[in-house]
Amino acid sequence: MRTCAACRKVKPKRELVRLVCAENGAVEVDTKGKKNGRGAYLCPSRECWEKGLKHGQLDRVLRITLIPENKAQLLEQGNNY
């Protein structure tokens, strides 16, 4: 069971999308859930992606400060879910 960083709902790992902070500091979607690095989970809903990225919740969970370009890229990827 994992917790969504935006809505704080606890769901099975397979129902959430994992984001991972790579070694270069960029955050990317971890489709297989196996990449190394600090991870965070979001529901596959547009509301959770927007809330997690725009309100800084993802920044807190990953313990980094996302740059605007990375936020825009992740929000674009979130449209696919």
What is the DSSP annotation of 13-76?
A: GGGSEEEEE-TTS-EEEESSS--SS-EEEE-SSHHHHHHHHHSSHHHHHHTS---HHHHHHHHH
Taking only the tens place, the pLDDT of each residue in 5-30 is 999 999 999 999 999 998 888 899 99
| Domains delineated in the chain | 2-78 (3.30.1230.10)
Supply the pLDDT for residue 46. Answer: 92
